[in-house]
Amino acid sequence: MLLIVWMFHVSYSAYIRNAVAADNALEIRVRGARWNWSYQYPDGTPESGDALYLPVNKPVKMVMSSSDVLHDYFVPAFRLKKDVVPGMYSQIAFTPNRLGEAQVFCAEYCGAGAGPTAGGHFSMLSKIKIVTEAEYEEHLKKIKDIPAELKDKENGTALWGEQLYKGKGCTTCHSVDGSAATGPTFKGVWGRTETLTTGEQIKVDENYVRESILRPQAKIVKTFENGNMPPFVFTEKQVDAIIAYLKTTK
Amino acid sequence: MATVATPGLGGKTEAHDPHESYLAEKGLKSWLFTLDHKRIGIMYLIGVLAAFLLGGILALLVRLELFTAGRTIMTAEQYNKVFSMHGIVMVFLFIIPAVPGALGNIFLPIQLGTKDVAFPRLNLTSFYVWVLGAVFGLYTMIHGGVDTGWTFYTPYSSKFTNTSVIPMLTAAFILGFSSILTGVNFIATVHTMRAPGMSWKRLPLFIWALYATSIIQVLATPVLAITLFLLIFERAFGLGIFDPSMGGDPVLFQHFFWFYSHPAVYIMIVPGMGVISEIICTFSRRAPFGYFFIAMSSLGLALLGFLVWGHHMFVAGMSEYSTMVFSALTFLVGIPSGVKVFNWVTTLYKGSISLKSPMLYALGFIFLFTIGGLTGLFLAMLAVDVHLHDTYFVVAHFHYVMVGGTVIAFVGGLHYWWPKFTGKMYNEGMARAAFALVFIGFNVTFLSQFVLGSRGMPRRYYDYLPEFQSLHQVSTIGSWILGLGFLVMLVMFIQSLQQGKDAPRNPWGSAALEWQTPTPIPFHNFVDQPVITRGPYDYHLATEAELDEGYAPGERPADADD
Amino acid sequence: MSSEAATADATTEVPEGHDDHGHDEHGHNDHAHPSYLAHHFDTPQQQFDAAKVGMWAFLVQELLFFSGIFVAYGIFRSWYPEMFSAAAHQLDRPIGAGNTIVLLVSSLTAALAVREAQLGRKAGTSRYLLLTILCALIFLGVKSYEYNHKFQAGLLPGHFYHPHLHHLVEGSPALPENAHIFYSIYFMATGIHAIHILVGIGVLTWIWRRNERGDFSKEYYAGVDIAALYWHLVDLVWIYLFPLLYLID
């Protein structure tokens, strides 16, 4: 009995430490959507779902939300886990104290897409990279803009767009080879005339692409009603890059 | 118990031969329309075994897919359906009705010393309601299955998946009613149908367990029914109660669901504990140590079962205070469970133990259930649960309790009572071989999953990171051994029916009431109305003739004592 | 006991009354049993007790079934109290109150039917059973009138919610956007209750037929008693539903 009381006390104290954040914590927004994670740094800069960079020894608070079903942000290396629930914000707090990399899983079942290449609950992975303060600042600066190695290339913007297409999880639902998936294929998408669920016809142009990324539910192409694409967070430059890329997927 | 064979009340004449076996009448119709609790029990047994076979095949498919990372035999979509169907079939079709529906139906009236359950028609109805639910379930499977997991979490189940969720919810809804009707029937039977002299203090422990289970069934299942009902309407008509985009709350569904489904865990395990109590007393030839405590711990588990649903949701976003309360309450569950294990082990101490196959299963149960229970304490610790929640650790934990506990107890009970209700003995050597395979296979399959889970492998994953591969392969190989064990058992039982020796009245030399009636059981359970003069485990009060195994001279099997 | 052991495998014993293998539940050849006593009971009292215990257990599960709805109601009302109060204004209180009285009367007639059955008065039992059924039908008729009005006004659950302003009660507070949740709960609660009323009508009709056939007597009236118990529960649920849905402010 005493053993039980002791076990309860120890575990509850540890639990509370992860629920309460320090005042000066770095606030990271985490968004779960089938089937990828996306992040936003305190200054609003969006990060691709592949990896989140965090400075070492700085308290972090994660504010998490879901744009479709239940997910769960699970970092085994930190012994941390929290459900990400649509319609509410959940929080976790921690302080990374060692440089390195930590694997992130989704731990609340969220289904799978159709077809062999489609993603699913099992592929909703990400990483947390713990770096030094200086590396963190540098990384922040870098992701706001086109990657240095593409900067001087002739079609650099489109190449950046392709990187974003692959890195943000767009591949889960949109193919570039014309094969069917949860969302319309990007093959020959530019300038195509699509019929919307309302029956209205629309030509795919800069404005339609921009709106579809930032407010996906506004105009849905017929037969893709059940796609439920979540809204994505991109900077203006990134949206431009995606547009440039879509012009090349013929 | 029936130490004095008094003539039936009023010396009435029966409509048919009091010695005639309940199995005597032939013909499909005599089975399908029977109101006899033993025959209904056997139909349940066939039904739940068929469900177990189906669920088992699905389990083997899941393990086979996980043999390699990436695609082995099926796509992610198919995998999601297969593991969902495995859970649904095993939980709703097999494990909930297994012990009460099959073994309970056959032996509850006999152990009470009565002719039938209180409402035979209702009993047959609840069997056919079960069949109807099973038909809905099978229809769903043929129609493409569901991929929501057996928990049907919203909003995935209500808005996102495009599989046949509604027929499956209907199936679970119907099966719930079957379970409620059985519970009502058992409660009324235990209260009003006990034989003369069968006081509450003389109730067999199996009856106490079934009684506690029936209370949970009556109190918890209707909450599941209303939950599934709401979910059906939510999905069909967009009620919005569980939909965050319409002002509803998906976590509310989890509260509703676990308010039933945690007590349901005790619906599954408590009858198994009752079976184990019976087997241990018979094969130690001793009264249980602390009869009162074992009986009351069943009721204690039934009560506590209603207070701890929140521990399924420690990471779901409940307030820190509610998680604290639920964690503390969950630790309390360890107490009645511990009381039971302690009492079983103490009963064994200085008993004259015979290691027949039912006893092997009982010992296996104590071992596996202890592991299952102790890992439950890890999960009750909030900080530890945060890490282990929804990983393979949880998968291993509940398989240790459900398979290592309930299924082992169910199979042990089947071995224990088989001679009585079929009238045939089985091959003891094969039974022990099957036990060895099941026990080894089970541990190989699920011990490795404890390790996987503690290393952070989340559950319900179709694909996994390369570092998890070797443990997954060990687990899959274990599942083959486990499957082989059950196959050997199936062959053994079929062989027993076809060419088994006729069973004597009391092959295990038990003092309990059900072994005092002839084998096979007469239609009215007893030749004369029994009058109970002692408890079921009072070996010191039992006469030589009662404990006699009842073999005809020269028929006693050579290997009986080892 | 020893006699049982001795005869356990005795096949030579001469059986009495070997003519009937019938596995029907009634031992018809049995003179000691009254005709209404099922074979597996020893005494009528035991049979009656079993039926009562069984019915009470069933009623407990019914209560828990409804409790799910009540909990959902409680939670959403505590989240959105103004919405509930505004939405409840659209329900017709006088009609609801009238219906409550109809159900209360039906409970009374059900109780009187039991009383008549206990006294062995067949005609009186039938009369009160029919009155109870009549009340149930009136209740359903009024309920369908109310439903019809809600359909016209578009006050429907979930996605189907699209209020037509000209159909709403005059001078009522404006309906908040999420009022559909109230109507979801309203329709689920009253709908499930109406299904129970329908089942009750079926049960009462069956009991009435059995009474007409002369199945019941002063000694055996369990069927009437149990049907009345069920009916009281249905009534009781409504007594909670009515203030919770209609009378909040």
pLDDT tens-digit map of B416-469: 999 999 999 999 999 999 999 999 999 999 999 999 999 999 999 998 999 999
Domain residues of chain B, as ranges?
Answer: 40-549
**Residues of B (70-129) whose Cβ lies below 8 Å from A:** 71, 75-77, 79-80
Most B-contacting residue of A122, A127, A224 (CB-CB within 10 A), to test interface: A122
CB of C13 closer than 8 Å to CB of B19: yes
**Residues of C (52-81) whose Cβ lies below 8 Å from B:** 53-54, 57-58, 60-62, 64-69, 71-72, 75-76, 80
- Which of A143, A177, A199 is the last residue before a domain boundary? A143
DSSP H or E run through B441: helix B428-454
CATH number for position A191: 1.10.760.10
**Residues of C (4-33) whose Cβ lies below 8 Å from B:** 4-11, 13, 15-18, 20-25, 27-33
The fourth-level CATH superfamily of domain B40-549 is Cytochrome c oxidase-like, subunit I domain (1.20.210.10)
Looking at the partner chain, which of B161, B328, B382 has a beta carbon nearest the beta carbon of A15? B382
Q: What is the pLDDT of residues B107-160, one digit of tens each?
A: 999 999 998 999 999 999 999 999 999 999 999 988 888 888 888 888 888 888
Most B-contacting residue of C48, C56, C65 (CB-CB within 10 A), to test interface: C65
* Domain match, A55 and A75 both: yes
Quick one: pLDDT at residue B310? 85
* Domain match, A139 and A178 both: no
B5 pLDDT band, cuts 50/70/90, is very low
* Domain match, A172 and A134 both: no
* Domain match, A115 and A28 both: yes
Quick one: pLDDT at residue C15? 36
CATH number for position A132: 2.60.40.420
* Contact A107/B at CB under 8 A: yes
**Residues of A (78-97) whose Cβ lies below 8 Å from B:** 79-83, 85-88, 90
Widest Cα–Cα separation across chain C: 90
Distance, CA of B523 to CA of B30 (rounded, Å): 13
Is 0.95 exceeded by the ipTM?
A: no
CB of A235 closer than 8 Å to CB of A46: yes
* Touch B-A: 3+ C-beta pairs under 8 A: yes
Distance, CA of A230 to CA of A215 (rounded, Å): 8
Lowest mean pLDDT segment, chosen from A169-173, B10-14, B320-324, B402-406: B10-14
Mean pLDDT of C94-120: 92
Domain residues of chain C, as ranges?
Answer: 43-246
- Which of A118, A143, A168 is the last residue before a domain boundary? A143
* Domain match, A196 and A139 both: no
Q: Do C57 and B246 touch (CB under 8 A)?
A: no
CB of B514 closer than 8 Å to CB of B2: no
Cα distances (angstroms) measured from residue B324 to each of A108, B314, B328, B410: 22, 9, 6, 35
* Domain match, A160 and A126 both: no
Residue C46 zone, left/alpha/beta (φ > 0; ψ -120 to 50; rest) = alpha
Q: State whether residue A60 is helix, strand or coil.
A: strand
Residue with tokens 């914590």, as numbered in its chain: A25
CA distance A64 to chain B (A): 11
* Domain match, A133 and A197 both: no
- The whole-chain average pLDDT of chain B stands at 88
Of B392, B552, B411, B547, nearest to B3 by C-alpha is: B547
Quick one: pLDDT at residue A220? 84
* Domain match, A7 and A131 both: yes
Of A58, A216, A37, nearest to A123 by C-alpha is: A37
Structural domain count, chain A? 2
Q: In terms of pLDDT, which residue wins out, A132 or A116? A: A132
* Domain match, A28 and A130 both: yes
Q: What letter represents residue A98's amino acid?
A: R
Q: What is the pLDDT of residues B181-219, one digit of tens each?
A: 999 999 999 999 898 889 998 999 999 999 999 999 999
Q: What is the pLDDT of residues B288-310, one digit of tens each?
A: 988 999 999 988 888 888 888 88
Q: What is the pLDDT of residues B500-528, one digit of tens each?
A: 888 888 889 888 999 988 888 988 888 88
- Which of A143, A162, A194 is the last residue before a domain boundary? A143
CA distance C193 to chain B (A): 12
Mean pLDDT of C104-119: 93
Q: How many Cα atoms occupy the beta-carbon half-sphere of B396 within 13 Å?
A: 29
Of A181, A115, A172, A180, nearest to B77 by C-alpha is: A115
* Contact A3/B at CB under 8 A: no
The CATH number, out of the four listed (3.40.640.10, 3.90.1150.10, 1.20.120.80, 3.90.226.10), of the domain defined by the range C43-246? 1.20.120.80
* Contact C35/B at CB under 8 A: no
Residue A221's domain comprises: 148-246
Q: What percent of chain C has pLDDT over 70?
A: 84
Phi and psi at A11, nearest 5°, equal -70, -35
